[in-house]
Chain A
Amino acid sequence: MTVTPNDPLVIVEPSTDTPLVWFDVAIRGGAAADPLGAEGLHRHAALLARRGAGSRDRAQLDETLDGLGASIDVALSRDSVTLSGLALSRHLPAALELAADVLAAPRWDEGEHARLLRETPQILDEVRDDDGALATRWFDWLCCPGHPYGRTSLGTAKSLARIAEDGRDAAIELWRREVVTGNLVIGLAGDVDEARAHELAARLVARLPRGARLEEPTVPALRTRPARAVLVDKPDRTQAQLRIGHVSARYGDPDTPALAIAEAALGGMFSSRLMQEIRVKRGWSYGAGCALRRSRLPHWFEIWTAAAIDVAGPAVALVRELYTDYAARGPSDDEVDFARSYLVGAMPFHVATARQRMQLAVRDAVFDLPAGYTARLPEALAGLAASDVRAACARHMHPAHSVTVAVTTADHARAALEAAHAGALEVVAHDAY
């Protein structure tokens, strides 16, 4: 079979372990491709498409899917919108037919458009009610102003007002532009054989326009900024939810294997430095860790913890001290060996099920990485010297430019956070964004 640039990429992972099939349809684009000022448009379009398609309105579509014991959910990331489905294998053709309707023939119901606009601010309320989610929302916004990943996938009061004005037409146009054969990555995993899966995938996209993939969004030239700290003031907190970090490398950067080791040694395991220093030695928090977010463009390197409010200031100071030392010196030889051993040994757990293998492969494809990139990372890890890891730390870890976000109660924590010298401290109301 010849695959052209206008064909979708189809990934199949058969398994007869259970009578289930998972299917993902990743549409390249995602929140990073939202137009400026219309943040939340991809989410709005995808949810609206799911609320009635083909001959079925929302209620009929829900009823039909539920009757099959199946589901089709919308997942939004910075880089893609994904329709994620699950069905008993005996109902797979029927479930995929419904997914094909969602892709090819959304009804773009006016009533659902208006309802979604009423619902989204309430989802925002729920984010504000959850300290961890609220800390992440503020951190995403403040980490690197101007970066496409700084755009909220949910939207803001202003952007939702704009979507209310012309969002239905914009959603239709977005869907017409992005839901084309060449812009899709399709994965099927579970109780379906390879030939049948390809046949069903062909039917899934048969009614879609043929077209090429979306152009990659670009990251504008970004200014280097001094460290800053923001206290997101929320009443009656007993802890401070903390996020500390900055923009760093993309997943797939030549330094990705080295950074995976650096990430694991600093905060990816229970034995890592952050967990040992913050939880084990001091008992300041239930947990602490770090992550280099996996995305197609350069994304955040982020340290997280939730410290008791009376030690919030010392916790920020300690994290900054640890991170500054780590960025400058990197992990020790022993830490590199340990983290490498952990990461290589852990890979079989990430590819143990057909669903996991399919989802990793779909993600790699959305990130434009070679097939099998993630599954082959252990080979790359094996060839790294400790000095390679330390050099990668020096290139991609920038504590002097970190943003610190603390969701806590200003009356109790402000002075201590100011004393932590995490940069100029600004206090904002928790519902100001």
Chain B
Amino acid sequence: MTSSWTLEAEASTGFGASARRWRLGNGLGLIAAIDRRAPIVALQTWFRVGSRHERPGATGMAHLFEHLMFGQTEGLPPGELDRLIERTGGETNAATWVDWTYYKMSLPARDLPLGVRLEAERMQHLVLEPVPVEAERDVVTNERRERVEDDVDGWLDEQLMAHAFTQHPYRWPTIGWMEDIRALALPEIRAFYRTWYAPNNATIVCVGDFDDGELLALIARHYGSIPPAAVPSMPGVVEPEQTRERVVRAPKPIATDRLLVGYKAPGQDDPDWAVLEIVATLLAGCPSARLHRKLVIEREAASSVDAQLTPFRDPSLLRLAVTTARGHRADEVIAEIDRELAALREHPPAAAEVEKAKALAETDFWSALVDVDGKAEALGHYETALGDFRRLGVIAERLTAVTADDVARVVRSHLVPARRTIVIAEPDEAAEEADEDDGDAE
């Protein structure tokens, strides 16, 4: 009998009621947090499978399931899942990234039983036949055209990861390489489903207006009889230390240079990740940030600059994204980045500057937890990527403890040219000619 629950963890979420993690006998996890401000619930099912679990040559497999899982099941004809949810006024969607895939439903509270039934159905009874698989393959290739082939920012992102990583699966794009998407074979698609879509590889996250006891009974009723699967433990891949700068350039039909600069950074659970989050804010996370002020305002060498630290389980990147201004090139932007980082290495920032970044981090932290969907996403991410939803609170505490000396230290250790990869999209010939003719048809 697998339908008994064990309470494994409980913690304050900082937004009212605490969150509890329960475990069903078959390994299914459940994180539940009650929020009764509106008669709605966020029901999300997080699977510990993302693009890192694919093999070279079959990239895009995890993301393909983000599409296939809305298709026919043994108990639901094609399209029925969407229709049932939309008829309630609810919405359903999914997301895939390197460490996870999750399926989300936003439902009127009274329709929570429907959502649980549908999620349990597609976890075990998805129909994978040639016709629907080919249809979704076409859709995914079009998604890739829209987000990568015809989108310079998508192309930059893909190239950065492909060149920054030589061994780790983070090197291929979550949507997959086009030739791989076209070649994914049905037997391997079916095997992927049987391997990863199992209760012991999933966590259900439910936030909203529900009764704890009723939820436990409901989920046990629909999932309790699903047997666990033999989920493989993937060998950890250690990306070799990067010891020299990598630079990639390509022409694109754009007006000015666009570049991504990616510095190797630790995984999200490393204590230095929180310090680098503060560094990202100091560099380009607010209007008074150093690079924004220097590049956009003082030198007018860029029209925008942004910084992002990717929240991945394994070491990843701190990324600086810059669009250069007319008449300026990527190389002078890189030189300016180097000057700012050298200054930070040699002179720790003033305490007030660090406090500023921490105040912004506090605002960002709460902003992500405003609605039930955001709360569920935060809980699901930390549980799935880092193994424990309570890391949300730990990382928030780490952010508040960062000092100026910490900032200087991580800049010295991480943000050095030898540990970075730069991808530059440059205006191609046609775009440059068009610039010269820039006119106004009005």
| Chain A positions within 8 Å of B79 at CB level | 271, 276, 280
Closest chain A CB from B243 CB (angstroms): 34
Question: How many residues of B are counted as interface, with CB atoms below 8 angstroms from the partner's CB atoms?
Answer: 76
Taking CB atoms and an 8 Å cut-off, the chain B residues in 1-37 that contact chain A are 15-16, 35, 37
Known: A17-B16, A234-B253, A355-B370. A345 touches B138 (CB 8 A): no
Contact (Cβ within 8 A) A286 B326: no
A153 at the interface (CB under 8 A from B): no
Contact (Cβ within 8 A) A86 B367: yes
Taking CB atoms and an 8 Å cut-off, the chain A residues in 291-347 that contact chain B are 306-308, 338, 341-347
| Chain B positions within 8 Å of A123 at CB level | 303
Q: Which residue of A lies closest to B82 (CB)?
A: A270
Known: A122-B303, A122-B325. A15 touches B37 (CB 8 A): yes
Assembled-state Cα–Cα distance A348/B41 (Å) = 11
Assembled-state Cα–Cα distance A60/B323 (Å) = 25
Q: Which residue of A lies closest to B89 (CB)?
A: A345
Assembled-state Cα–Cα distance A87/B86 (Å) = 35
Among B143, B255, B297, contact of A286 (Cβ-Cβ < 8 Å): B143
Taking CB atoms and an 8 Å cut-off, the chain A residues in 418-433 that contact chain B are 428-433
Contact (Cβ within 8 A) A433 B108: no
| Chain A positions within 8 Å of B139 at CB level | 279, 283, 285-286
| Chain A positions within 8 Å of B303 at CB level | 119, 122-123, 125-126
Assembled-state Cα–Cα distance A308/B38 (Å) = 41
Assembled-state Cα–Cα distance A342/B96 (Å) = 26
| Chain B positions within 8 Å of A352 at CB level | 37-38, 40, 371-372
Assembled-state Cα–Cα distance A215/B88 (Å) = 41
Of the candidate stretches B186-194, B382-390, B433-441, the one touching chain A is B433-441
> Contact string, A263-278, partner B, CB cutoff 8 A, digits 1/0?
0000001110000100
| Chain B positions within 8 Å of A430 at CB level | 434
By CB atoms of chain B within 10 A, which of A128, A129, A284, A346 has the most?
Answer: A129
Closest chain B CB from A378 CB (angstroms): 9
A58 at the interface (CB under 8 A from B): yes
Known: A66-B288, A69-B359, A129-B255. A342 touches B87 (CB 8 A): yes
Assembled-state Cα–Cα distance A62/B304 (Å) = 16
Of the candidate stretches A176-184, A235-243, A251-259, the one touching chain B is A235-243
Contact (Cβ within 8 A) B254 A129: yes
Assembled-state Cα–Cα distance A198/B299 (Å) = 42
B214 at the interface (CB under 8 A from A): no
Closest chain B CB from A242 CB (angstroms): 12
Assembled-state Cα–Cα distance A407/B275 (Å) = 43
Assembled-state Cα–Cα distance A22/B145 (Å) = 37
Contact (Cβ within 8 A) A348 B40: yes
Known: A17-B15, A432-B441. A341 touches B87 (CB 8 A): yes
Q: Which residue of B lies closest to A432 (CB)?
A: B441
| Chain B positions within 8 Å of A276 at CB level | 79
Q: Which residue of A lies closest to B438 (CB)?
A: A431
Contact (Cβ within 8 A) A306 B146: yes
B356 at the interface (CB under 8 A from A): yes
Known: A17-B15, A349-B106, A352-B371. A239 touches B146 (CB 8 A): yes
| Chain B positions within 8 Å of A236 at CB level | 253
Contact (Cβ within 8 A) B86 A271: yes
B216 at the interface (CB under 8 A from A): no
A158 at the interface (CB under 8 A from B): yes
| Chain A positions within 8 Å of B254 at CB level | 125, 129
A218 at the interface (CB under 8 A from B): no
B56 at the interface (CB under 8 A from A): no
Known: A67-B356, A276-B79. A115 touches B434 (CB 8 A): no
Known: A15-B37, A88-B363. A62 touches B370 (CB 8 A): no
Contact (Cβ within 8 A) A86 B363: yes
Among B323, B325, B363, contact of A69 (Cβ-Cβ < 8 Å): B363
Among A58, A66, A341, contact of B89 (Cβ-Cβ < 8 Å): A341
Interface residues on A, range: 35 or more
Closest chain B CB from A307 CB (angstroms): 8
| Chain A positions within 8 Å of B150 at CB level | 131, 237-239, 241
| Chain A positions within 8 Å of B86 at CB level | 269-271, 338, 342
A351 at the interface (CB under 8 A from B): yes
B75 at the interface (CB under 8 A from A): no
A121 at the interface (CB under 8 A from B): yes
A20 at the interface (CB under 8 A from B): yes
Q: Which residue of B lies closest to A16 (CB)?
A: B16
A406 at the interface (CB under 8 A from B): no
| Chain A positions within 8 Å of B316 at CB level | none
Contact (Cβ within 8 A) A115 B300: yes
A193 at the interface (CB under 8 A from B): no
Assembled-state Cα–Cα distance A126/B258 (Å) = 10
Contact (Cβ within 8 A) B256 A125: yes
Q: Which residue of B lies closest to A123 (CB)?
A: B303
Closest chain B CB from A114 CB (angstroms): 10
Q: Which residue of B lies closest to A161 (CB)?
A: B440
Closest chain B CB from A195 CB (angstroms): 21
A70 at the interface (CB under 8 A from B): yes
Assembled-state Cα–Cα distance A270/B254 (Å) = 33
Taking CB atoms and an 8 Å cut-off, the chain B residues in 422-442 that contact chain A are 428, 430-431, 434-435, 437-442
A380 at the interface (CB under 8 A from B): no
Besides the known contacts A69-B363, A349-B106, 17 further A-B residue pairs in the complex with CB atoms under 8 A apart? A58-B297, A69-B362, A88-B363, A123-B303, A131-B151, A156-B440, A238-B145, A239-B146, A271-B83, A307-B142, A345-B108, A348-B39, A348-B40, A348-B108, A353-B370, A428-B441, A432-B441
* B positions within 8 Å CB-CB of A: 15-16, 35, 37-40, 79, 82-83, 86-91, 106, 108, 134-139, 141-143, 145-146, 149-152, 253-256, 258, 286-289, 293, 297, 300, 303-304, 323, 325-326, 352, 355-356, 358-363, 366-367, 369-372, 428, 430-431, 434-435, 437-442
Going nearest first, the 9 A-B pairs with the smallest beta carbon separation are A345-B89, A283-B138, A69-B359, A125-B255, A157-B440, A352-B38, A346-B89, A62-B287, A286-B143
* A positions within 8 Å CB-CB of B: 15, 17-20, 58-59, 62-63, 65-71, 86-88, 91, 115, 118-119, 121-123, 125-126, 128-131, 141, 156-159, 234-239, 241, 269-271, 276, 279-280, 282-286, 306-308, 338, 341-349, 351-353, 355, 428-433
17 contacts between A and B (CB under 8 A): A17-B16, A20-B366, A59-B297, A63-B288, A66-B289, A68-B359, A87-B363, A119-B325, A126-B304, A235-B428, A280-B79, A283-B136, A286-B142, A344-B89, A349-B89, A349-B106, A433-B442
